[in-house]
């Protein structure tokens, strides 16, 4: 009996945003271990290069490319570079996100509101558009949007962030339906509370964490690596009939 090759990504080109640390880094490392050439992207090239170098040192293939997905000109530039260097894209993981506002919704200012929408909605949308245009010319591909359980049940003092993550879940369905005839699948990952710098306001707040633990059947926060397996499934042939769905990886929080 031979092992399955369903999860092999040999020859695939994958782009992971927000990959210089946390969940994005864990995803980039796993996709590379499964054979993909991973484009490690984030706002600052230095952090991306460190992850790419670590992947290469581990025997994988990786390229660092800086891109702030809240800036349209940077999205256009990075996909022009992808097209020139690789000529194709098979996997896009929209992971980069922002959450500058942690407080009562009535205290939300315009700058925080606009920044959150620019990155979490506009950024995901136009990253997906650019990736989809590359994918449709080469037989299709897979787009994975990292949303959040906050897109289903709002996070305390995370109003605008929760709104944008709900939009990402709906956006996923839009791309799934309209791009299916092009061979492009689109799915979402909904992480629960994960021990990252991004979620430090939650993980390091004893009162919030204590309340959350009551709602998490597994009674712990996740590690970034625990998010990567679901993304591998969605990126690989193992999920060839899966599109338009959202996978909860939340320790049972939403159960």
Catalytic residues: 161
- Residue identified by tokens 């864990």 is 26
The C-alpha atoms of residue 126 and residue 109 are separated, in whole angstroms, by 25
The C-alpha atoms of residue 145 and residue 93 are separated, in whole angstroms, by 6
Is residue 23 within 8 A of residue 96, CB to CB? The reply is no
CA 222 to centroid of chain Cα atoms: 16
- Residue identified by tokens 């049940």 is 153
The C-alpha atoms of residue 37 and residue 63 are separated, in whole angstroms, by 8
Pairing of strands 246-249, 91-94: unpaired
């Amino acid at each position: 009996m031979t092992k399955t090759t369903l999860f092999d990504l040999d020859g695939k080109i994958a782009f992971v945003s927000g990959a210089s640390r946390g969940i994005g880094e864990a995803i980039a490392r796993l996709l590379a271990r499964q054979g993909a050439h991973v484009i490690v992207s984030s706002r600052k090239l230095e952090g991306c290069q460190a992850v790419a170098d670590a992947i290469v040192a581990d025997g994988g293939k990786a390229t660092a490319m800086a891109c702030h997905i809240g800036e349209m000109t940077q999205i256009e530039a990075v996909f022009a570079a992808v097209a020139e260097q690789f000529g194709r894209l098979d996997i896009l993981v929209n992971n980069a996100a922002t959450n500058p506002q942690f407080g009562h919704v009535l205290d939300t200012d315009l700058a925080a509101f606009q920044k959150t929408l620019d990155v979490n909605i506009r950024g995901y949308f136009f990253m997906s558009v650019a990736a989809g245009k590359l994918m449709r010319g080469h037989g299709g591909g897979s787009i994975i949007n990292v949303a959040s359980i906050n897109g289903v049940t709002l996070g305390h003092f995370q109003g605008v962030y929760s709104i944008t993550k709900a939009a990402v879940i709906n956006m996923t369905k839009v791309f799934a339906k309209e791009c299916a005839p092009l061979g492009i699948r689109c799915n979402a990952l909904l992480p629960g509370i994960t021990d990252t710098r991004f979620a430090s306001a939650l993980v390091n707040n004893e009162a919030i964490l204590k309340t959350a633990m009551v709602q998490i059947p597994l009674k712990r926060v996740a590690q970034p690596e625990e998010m990567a397996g679901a993304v591998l499934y969605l990126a690989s042939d193992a999920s060839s009939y899966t599109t338009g769905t959202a996978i909860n990886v939340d320790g049972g929080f939403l159960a």
